[in-house]
Amino acid sequence: MVHLRLIVPADRVRAVLDFLIRCSTVINIVHLPGVGTRPDGDLVMCDVAREDASVVLEDLRAMDLPRVGSIAVELVDVALSDLAVEAEKAAEGAPADAVVWEELTSRTNESAALSGTFLAFIVIAGLIAACGILLDSPILIVGAMVVGPEFGPIAGFCVAAVQRRPRLAARSFLALAVGFPALVATTLAAVLLAKATGVADPDFDTQSHALARTIASPDWYAVVVGVLAGVAGMLSLSTAKSGALVGVLISVTTVPAAANIAVALAYGDGEQARGSAETLGLNLSMILVGGLVTLLLQRAAYDRRRRDHRQRVDESLVRRALGEAASSRAADRVR
């Protein structure tokens, strides 16, 4: 279940309550008149089946509540109620498959931003990967994959593309465009320093190390794994399965490929650097493809659910609330 907490102006609370009551997947409706401050209004609370959460929220947004009131969304981990079971049965599909688009957007908004924390994590991941390459240690490579934060901006770009949100797409692209060059530059400087001080083997041969050679040799397996990782990663984000996301991060060589570019450049191996750059570009592209296809299919399922929802709920209730919202906006413009 998903818990909604609404602050609704008194002049349109009746329309909102009528709408919620007519939704068979909405339960535990509570109305407390006049208790809201900043914004002023009535407090309305309810629980809605996860499968129908986004379609109900879309109608509430269309009623102009974010502008004249507020909407807060919380996930309910446990709901012990026969009525909750009936509400979930009334909603088509399984809760585990449902996407709460507002939750997904909120999660990707945060993880897609270029921040000091994002840069710190991606640089640290690159340094760990470089150590793994120099030591020929698969454990360190896996550790670098887990630490790397690059899937956040990739997911943000996919969500932005499906929802047609150019600002989020630009933010996500900026994070990747700055993050990976910062990783390569910092790792290159660190490897050169390690060579100069004798910490790293000055005679390290990138061609003779199995890990470095594998990373720099993209093939069709990389295409398949990249697409599957994009699908699995987007499913894990949209359905809140964090354990699956960790597996996705381990499955693709984005951070190790970027680190291998730096190691190869530090040792003057241009061919290895080019191969690693191809692996990096291929993996990023295929993850994007897999993520976009997954989200497009989920969005198509959501659009179908929304049509079914409109058939179950009296359209006149929504039109009434929309009319009140339009009248309020017109009055604001006059003032």
139 and 247 fall within a common domain: yes
Residue 325 domain-assigned?
no
Q: How far apart are CA 245 and CA 254, in angstroms?
A: 15
Question: Are residues 49 and 162 both part of a single domain?
Answer: no
User: Among the three residues 64, 98, 132, which one is the final residue of a domain in this structure?
Assistant: 98
Which one of 52, 69, 98 terminates a domain?
98
Q: How far apart are alpha carbons 262 and 258 in whole angstroms? A: 7
Q: Which amino acid is at 265?
A: L
**Can you give the CATH number for the domain in which 69 is found?**
3.30.70.120
Q: Are residues 20 and 131 in the same domain?
A: no
Helix, strand and coil content of the chain, in percent to the nearest 5, comes to: 70, 10, 20
In a domain, 293, yes or no: yes
Query: For position 24, what pLDDT does the model report?
Result: 86
**Distances from the Cα of 7 to the Cα of 38, 113, 237, 331, angstroms:** 9, 29, 29, 20
Domain around 22: 2-98
Considering the domain architecture, whether residues 161 and 113 belong to the same structural domain is answered as yes
Same domain, 235 and 154: yes
The dihedral over CA atoms of 66, 69, 71, 72, expressed in degrees to the nearest 10, equals 130
Mark which of 53, 77, 98 sits at the end of a domain: 98
Looking at the domain assignment, is residue 327 inside a domain? no
Please tell me whether residues 140 and 288 are part of one structural domain. Answer: yes
Whether residue 60 sits in one domain with residue 173: no
Backbone phi and psi for residue 4, each to the nearest 5 degrees, phi listed first: -115, 135
Tell whether 284 is covered by a domain: yes
How high is the pLDDT of residue 334?
Answer: 44
Task: Count the neighbouring beta carbons within 10 Å of the beta carbon of residue 73.
Answer: 16
C-alpha–C-alpha distance, residues 131 and 187, integer Å: 10
Radius of gyration of the CA atoms of the chain, in A: 25
- Is residue 319 included in any domain, yes or no? no
User: Does residue 287 share a domain with residue 146?
Assistant: yes
Considering its fold, how many domains does the chain have in total? Answer: 2
Q: What's residue 322's pLDDT? A: 53
Asked whether residue 84 falls in the same domain as residue 217, the answer is no
Q: Are residues 19 and 125 in the same domain?
A: no
The Cα 131–Cα 137 span in angstroms is: 8
- Report the predicted TM-score, pTM, of the whole model to 2 decimal places: 0.80
For residue 61, is it within any domain? yes
289 within some domain: yes
Walk along the chain (335 residues) and give the pLDDT tens digit of each residue.
Answer: 899 999 999 988 998 999 899 888 899 999 999 999 999 999 999 999 988 899 899 889 888 899 999 999 998 888 888 988 888 888 777 777 788 888 888 888 877 888 899 999 999 999 999 999 998 888 899 889 888 888 889 989 999 999 888 888 999 999 999 999 999 999 999 999 999 888 888 888 777 777 788 888 888 888 898 899 889 888 888 876 655 555 556 667 799 999 999 999 999 888 999 999 999 999 999 999 999 999 999 988 888 878 776 666 655 555 555 555 555 555 455 45
Nearest in space to 145 (alpha carbons), one of 49, 57, 241, 252: 252
pLDDT given for residue 317 in this prediction: 53
Please indicate, yes or no, whether residues 81 and 109 belong to a single structural domain of this protein: no
Examine the domain organization and report whether 71 and 148 are in the same domain. Answer: no
Query: Across the strands, what pairs with 290?
Result: none
Q: Is residue 321 part of a domain?
A: no
